[in-house]
Amino acid sequence: MNALRAFEAAGRLGSFTKAAEELNVSHSAISRHVRGLEKRLNVHLFQAQNTGVALTEQGRTYLSEITPAFDQIAHATEALSIPPQGTVTLTTENTVAQKWLIPRLANLRARHPEIDLKLSVTTQVMDIDAHDFDMGLRYVRGKPAEGYHLLFRSAVRAYAAPGFAPMSNGKVDLRALATGPLIEEATFRLWPEWFQQAGLDDALDLKLPHPLSAILAIQSAVAGLGPVLMDKNLAEPERQSGALVELADVEIDFGGYYLVVNARAGRRKAVRAVYEWLLEECAAAQGMRLD
């Protein structure tokens, strides 16, 4: 069993060093167990590379068969054990943390009081395996990397402080709005597309200032400095409080927010509990939205 555990961890993590860290043994112990297993099975499970080791075709096949068995043992054992507990570390962006995640953390605490979720807020896109984070929540505009799980799509809408937008016949006067100051968040350069979808087809000489961070863009709109284009998930606290109102029923899909889980942490009960809670929160938020 020790040899199987060593092989499974090294194959799953792609590294003898990471396997040794996960199993709390030495690098030489992992190597010894793997070589002994190869000798017993009379096959090569790994091949040496300049950057370390990689599974052979036989190794990949073997790993695909035994990993589910280890997962089943872990799940069965945890089902008989105490509720999920411990510290889970998550890295995400400042705006996502302030506007989407933190307002929901009371729900997590109520469901899993023994879990301590620690946030690391940064705009830097990190390799969570290398930095030892359990989870990462990040905006991705294009195609996400392998292992990224979609939480929610980014749907961009236009908002302004109540009474800010010029009106005509009970509707927002798009032409007057287009001649005034506009606020853009650095990720969303979409005002021309928004005006076109809203029904203003003329070529416009828009007054587009230097883009702001999402937090500053939202606060600028709340302060009445102009309308802002913002992901509806991030502007939801201000919309619900009445600090911002939507200007039109126009929505632009623009990327999404994805969750990635550290390969070493994914088996921990607390990490899986946070992951499942995040999925449920996203489903509930999308179901309640905008009616």
CATH of residue 32:
1.10.10.10
Average pLDDT for 267-286: 87
Q: pTM, whole model, 2 decimals?
A: 0.70
Claim to verify: residue 154 and residue 213 sit in the same structural domain? yes
Claim to verify: residue 219 and residue 179 sit in the same structural domain? yes
pLDDT at residue number 206: 82
How do beta strands 135-140 and 252-261 pair? Answer: antiparallel
Claim to verify: residue 162 and residue 270 sit in the same structural domain? yes
pLDDT at residue number 291: 36
Q: How confident is the prediction for the chain on average, in pLDDT?
A: 87
Claim to verify: residue 73 and residue 95 sit in the same structural domain? no
Claim to verify: residue 151 and residue 237 sit in the same structural domain? yes
Q: Domain total for the chain?
A: 2
Using one digit for the tens of pLDDT, what is the confidence trace for 63-100? 999 988 887 887 777 677 677 888 999 999 999 999 99
Claim to verify: residue 89 and residue 71 sit in the same structural domain? no
Average pLDDT for 167-187: 86
Claim to verify: residue 29 and residue 155 sit in the same structural domain? no
CATH of the domain at 90: 3.40.190.290
Long-range contact set of residues 51-60: C-beta below 8 Å, sequence gap at least 24 = 52/14, 52/15, 52/16, 52/17, 53/10, 53/14, 53/15, 53/16, 54/14, 55/11, 55/14, 59/7, 59/11, 60/11
The better pLDDT of the pair 289, 57 is held by 57
Claim to verify: residue 37 and residue 128 sit in the same structural domain? no
Claim to verify: residue 55 and residue 155 sit in the same structural domain? no
The model's confidence at residue 180, banded by pLDDT at 50, 70 and 90, is: confident
The better pLDDT of the pair 116, 206 is held by 116
pLDDT at residue number 43: 92
pLDDT at residue number 204: 66
The model's confidence at residue 235, banded by pLDDT at 50, 70 and 90, is: very high
Claim to verify: residue 9 and residue 75 sit in the same structural domain? yes
pLDDT at residue number 125: 63
Q: Quick one: CA dihedral 230, 233, 235, 239, positive or negative?
A: positive
Using one digit for the tens of pLDDT, what is the confidence trace for 22-48? 888 999 999 999 999 999 999 999 988
Q: Is 121 helix (H, G, I), strand (E, B) or coil?
A: strand
Contact between 237 and 215 (Cβ < 8 Å): no
Claim to verify: residue 113 and residue 238 sit in the same structural domain? yes
> Can you tell me the distance from the alpha carbon of 257 to that of 31, in angstroms, rounded to the nearest whole number?
39
Claim to verify: residue 50 and residue 145 sit in the same structural domain? no
Which of 51, 79, 107 is a domain's end point? 79
Which of 44, 79, 114 is a domain's end point? 79
Which of 18, 47, 79 is a domain's end point? 79
Domain that holds residue 252: 85-291
The better pLDDT of the pair 151, 209 is held by 151
